[in-house]
Structure 1
Amino acid sequence: MIKPILLLGYGNPSRGDDALGVLLLERIPAACLHSVELLTDFQLQIEHALDLKQRQLVLFADASVANTQPIHFRQLHAVIDNSYTTHAMNPASVMQVYSDIEKTAPPPCFLLTMQAVQFELGDGLSAIAEESLRQAVALVEKLFAEPNLTTWQAYTRA
C-alpha cells in the first residue's frame, strides 16, 4: 500500500552541506512516519514523477545556497522547463512531468530548503547547516503531526 505522504530528500552525502536533504530523512523520529514514505536520491530524475502517484502530499527537501534564513518552506506549482533533458531536475519540473504523463494535476507539493554554505568533497556539515537541519526537523515534525493541505499552506506564510 502506498503511504499518503512522500518525503523526498535529495543531495550528495559526500559533499558537506549538500547532504542536508538526505540527513533530514534520517533525523525524523520514527513516531512521525506512520503515514510517510521516505525516499532519497542524489538528484531528482524524470522517474521521480512516478513517485508522486497516489499521494495526498509531497515534501521535497534539499540544501540551498540561496537561503538567507536557516529554512525556507513553500508550495510548488508545476513548471515547464528543459531540465528534464539534463541529469538533474527541479521539483516543479518533476511535477510537470507527472502532469504530462498522468494527464492530471500532481498532488500538492512543497519544497523545504535548508541553508547551506560548503559543498567540498569529504566535508562534514557546517555549523550553519547543522542549525538549518535542526530547524527543518522541527518543522517537519509539525507538518507530519497535521498532514493536511490547509495546515501545510499556513506554514508557508509563517
Structure 2
Amino acid sequence: MKKTVMVIGYGNDLRSDDGIGQWIANEIASWHLPSVESVAVHQLTPDLVDSLASVDLAIFVDACLPVENFDVQVQSLLPACDIDSNVHTGDPRSLLALTEAIHGNFPVAWWVTIPGMNFEVGDRFSRTMEAGKAIALVKIVQILDKVNNFWVESRAVA
C-alpha cells in the first residue's frame, strides 16, 4: 500500500519566476506517478482543504525572494497556531490549520521554496530560477523516495 501524495505548486505564471510552483506541479503531473496527485494553482484557497484531508503527504512548492543565500529550501510544516482567514496570501500553514479544523486531521507536509530574481510581468525564468527548478525537482523526488521507502519497509516489518 503506497502513501498518497498531493503536490501543490502555486504562484502567478504571468510574473516570471513567480510561476515556478505551477511549472513544478505540471512537470510532476507529466510523470504520471501512481498515488501522486499534482495540482497547479494561482494561489492557495480553501477549496483545497478536502483534497488535503484525504492524502498522507502534501508538498507545497512556491517561489520566494532570496534571503541570505540562493538555495532551494525544504522545510517541514505544521498547521499555523491560529487559522488565518486570509488563506489566499500563500501560507500553506494556514491551509493545513483549516484542514485540521474542518476534518480533524492534516497530512504530513513539506514546503519547497525556490529563490527567484525576476517577478516582473513575463513568462521566462531567470537564470537563478532555472538552476533552482532542477534542484527543487531532485529534492521533491528525494522526499517521495524517502516516504515510499519508509512505507514499504514498515509494511514489510508488520
Q: Where does residue 26 of structure 1 map in the other structure?
A: 26
- Number of residue-to-residue matches in the alignment: 148
Q: Point out the more displaced range, 80-89 or 123-132.
A: 80-89
Q: What one-letter code is carried by the residue in structure 2 that aligns with 1:74?
A: Q
After superposition, residues 1-158 of structure 1 pair within 5 angstroms as: 4-28=4-28, 30-31=30-31, 33-67=33-67, 68-81=69-82, 83-85=84-86, 87-102=88-103, 104-148=104-148
Q: Which runs of 5+ in 2 are unaligned?
A: 152-158
Query: Does the 8 Å contact 2:13/2:123 carry over to 1?
Result: no
| TM-score when normalising by structure 2 | 0.82
Q: Deviations over 1:21-77 (max 9, x none)?
A: 011123338557222001111110122222212211110000010452331001101
Distance in 2 separating the partners of 1:145 and 1:29: 16
Displacement of 1:106 after TM fit?
0.8
Query: Does the 8 Å contact 2:29/2:37 carry over to 1?
Result: no
Identical counterparts, % of pairs: 25
| TM-score when normalising by structure 1 | 0.82
Q: Deviations over 1:72-95 (max 9, x none)?
A: 001101114464236434100001
